[in-house]
């Protein structure tokens, strides 16, 4: 999939506007008052987020124009649902929404046919998970998802597994300077580093302001991709304690990132 095109869906990507933080705040206030022109400006000012996300799907055979359009739907949903009282940057909230929208599109267009009932169950679980994380700032257990949507946990696990797209171990996931990283290279350590998303929000500086235990928890949770239960077992405390420490750490980091 070629993602180095200057024009995607009739949009000249080299001339996309960049909004300052002040401009974003002013526009969002107007959006909340129903100003459609401000909404349009806000969408255009964040299209670079969509471009950065679809680069992650460079190994896909999908047309980049199609992915761009789907990503824009995710961006619009993020704008319509963004809660400014959460004290997080819009980009931090929007990127997972855009990724989720593209993944749903790819699942629906998967060549392996999955029954409608299975897809419906899987999507209900995904939406429930997204809503839970938005409200509680932590990942729900499968039991909590099952309780929320009223479906047996075994059915949820089966449905989520059914909609996953098969991936070759030799599929490239990242290339830089001629060195290619393949899926098989990531299996053993399970790490999913995304420095490109966090450099612009000074995350490393925010981490330095945490004490050692909180910093370790954040690194294990968001750099190493471990669950709260895995972190709890590793450092010898309860999952509830991990959850409290994680929330406290995130609160301190937000205070630094958005003084």
Quickly list DSSP for 122-179: HHHHHHHHHHHHHHHSSPPPHHHHHHHHT--HHHHHHHHHHTSPP--TT-EEEEETTE
CA dist 159 and 124 (Å) reads 10
Would you call 167 exposed, middle or buried from its count of C-beta atoms within 10 A (0-12, 13-18, 19+)?
exposed
pLDDT at 78 > cutoff 60: yes
Q: What mean pLDDT do residues 68-94 have?
A: 84
- Model confidence over 187-206: pLDDT tens digits? 444 444 444 444 444 567 77
- Model confidence over 8-62: pLDDT tens digits? 656 666 777 788 888 888 888 898 888 889 888 898 888 888 888 888 877 667 7
Q: What is the pLDDT of residue 113?
A: 56
pLDDT at 211 > cutoff 70: yes
Q: What is the pLDDT of residue 197?
A: 41
pLDDT at 186 > cutoff 50: no
C-alpha distances in Å from residue 101, one per residue of 38, 64, 75, 86, 158:
23, 14, 9, 22, 21
Q: What is the pLDDT of residue 166?
A: 53
CA dist 41 and 19 (Å) reads 9
Beta carbons within 8 Å of 38's beta carbon, 6+ residues apart: 27, 28, 30, 31
Average pLDDT, the chain: 76
Q: What is the pLDDT of residue 199?
A: 46
Q: Interior CA angle at 234 toward 233 and 238, to 5°?
A: 40
* Model confidence, pTM: 0.43
Q: What is the pLDDT of residue 88?
A: 76
DSSP at 78 = H
Element (H, E) at 182: strand 179-182
Q: Are 191 and 205 in contact (CB under 8 A)?
A: no
């Amino acid at each position: 999939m070629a993602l180095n095109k200057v024009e995607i869906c009739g949009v000249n990507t080299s001339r996309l506007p960049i909004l300052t933080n002040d401009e974003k705040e002013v526009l969002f206030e107007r959006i909340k008052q129903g100003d459609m022109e401000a909404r349009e400006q806000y969408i255009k000012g964040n299209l670079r987020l969509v471009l950065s996300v679809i680069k992650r799907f460079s190994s896909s055979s999908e047309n980049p124009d199609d992915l761009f359009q789907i990503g824009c739907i995710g961006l619009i949903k993020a704008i319509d649902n963004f809660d400014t009282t959460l004290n997080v940057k819009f980009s931090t909230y929007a990127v997972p929404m855009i990724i989720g929208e593209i993944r749903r599109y790819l699942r629906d267009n998967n060549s392996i046919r999955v029954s409608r009932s299975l897809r419906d169950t899987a999507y209900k679980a995904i939406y429930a998970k997204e809503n839970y994380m938005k409200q509680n700032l932590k990942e729900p257990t499968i039991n909590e998802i099952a309780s929320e949507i009223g479906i047996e946990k075994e059915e949820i696990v089966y449905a989520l597994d059914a909609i996953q797209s098969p991936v070759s171990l030799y599929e490239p996931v990242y290339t830089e300077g001629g060195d290619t990283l393949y899926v098989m290279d990531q299996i053993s350590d399970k790490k999913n580093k995304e420095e490109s998303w966090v450099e612009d929000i000074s995350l490393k500086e925010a981490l330095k302001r945490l004490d050692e235990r909180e910093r370790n928890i954040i690194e294990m949770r968001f750099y190493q991709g471990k669950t709260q239960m895995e972190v709890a077992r590793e450092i010898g405390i309860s999952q509830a304690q991990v959850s409290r420490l994680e929330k406290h750490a995130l609160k301190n980091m937000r205070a630094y990132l958005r003084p």
